A and B are shown apart, each in its own frame.
Chain A
Amino acid sequence: MELQETLEEGYVEILDHLRKRSLWMLQYCTACGAMEIPPTITSRFDAERFGIAPFVTSRQSDILLVTGYVNIKTLRRLITVYEQMLPPKYVIGFGSCTINGGIYWDSYAIVKRLDLYLPVDVYIAGCMPTPMAVLEGFRTLMKLIDEGKANGWKKYQENYEYYKENQRKVLKW
């Protein structure tokens, strides 16, 4: 029994180690922060050298990149997209708007904290973050995955009721 557990743990560790080298990213570009994605993924900063490439469908992506403010209309779509993704999946909150509302702190439509509604693994601060900061965020995520600490999707499964309740509060579901 013990041997099997050890083997399984080792297996997961190896998987994590490999997984961090090939991350496909779904950008949810609904806000101004999306402006920094083209330089990040094209030749100048070239995120693909870290194995991070943009992808088009939610079913096959690993990272959900939320670029900027999330209002009540987009939050609903965002949750649908997140729940469509297959685990393991990671959420990156991008820009100060996802952290505390940013310059939209007094808006009637913008939710202020993304982590109440989706389990965020890494936040990238800045309005808007430069490509270097974005790459730093990606590297942090890779490190967390390697150490087995990027467990947002497990948290979402375990605390499903908590997240749903928060979502219901703003979306009036």
Chain B
Amino acid sequence: MVEEIKRVVVGEVVEKRPQRIIVKVEKENFASTLNALKALSFNRLNLLTAVDFIKENQFEIVALVYSDEKKVMTIVKTRIPRDNPEIETLIHIYPNAFKYEVELGEMFGIRVIGNPDSMKPFVLEGWGDLPPLRKDFDSIKYATEHYESRNVEVKYD
């Protein structure tokens, strides 16, 4: 499987275990890599999400694709800058990427080019703060400021 992937992919291919292959590509090749993988029987997108590497000032976009035929999971990663982050949409390759991409916009502030619902609120209606899954967002502070808590003494008997 690794050999086949190496043949079609421009980027670093690492075989972690026989069933876990990691592919690191440039941002421009992200969609084309997934397109090539889909042709290699990776027909299922299991997850599309981002990781915030705040020290390096980068987001890592991670896509997990699975091949039902070969029982192999491939993890495709790419790094994008943290300021003004943008990626290309995957909905024409994997239609179920749609809601994942909406979530990228809402939770990380990553604009997805080509997705009509990108940056529209889905869960957080009326949100006016930093996107909540960024590392510099302070959840406890936000919760204490916005939602009133109950002042009770807990008694144990």
A contact residues vs B (CB 8 Å cutoff): 71-73, 76, 99-101, 105-113, 116, 169-172
Q: Which residue of A lies closest to B137 (CB)?
A: A108
Q: A72-B125, A72-B126, A73-B125 are in contact. Are A108 and B132 (CB under 8 A)?
A: yes
In terms of DSSP, what is the predominant structure of the interface of chain B?
A: loop
B binding-site residues for A, Cβ under 8 Å? 123-126, 128-129, 132, 137, 139-140, 142-143, 146-150, 152
Evaluate whether A109 and B132 lie within 8 angstroms (CB atoms) in the complex, with A100-B149, A100-B150, A101-B149 already known. Answer: yes
Contacts of A73 in B (CB 8 A): 123-125
Cα–Cα, bound, A170→B128 (Å): 11
Question: How long is the Cα–Cα vector from A118 to B130 in the complex, in angstroms?
Answer: 28
Chain B residues with CB under 8 Å of A107's CB are 139, 143
Residues A76 and B125 in contact in the complex (CB < 8 Å), given A106-B143, A108-B132:
yes
Q: Which residue of chain B is the closest to A171 with respect to CB atoms?
A: B126
B139 touches A106 (CB 8 A): yes
Query: B108: shortest Cβ distance to chain A, in Å?
Result: 14
Closest residue of B by beta carbon distance from A116: B148
Report Cα–Cα, A20/B89, bound state, in Å: 55
Contacts of B132 in A (CB 8 A): 108-109
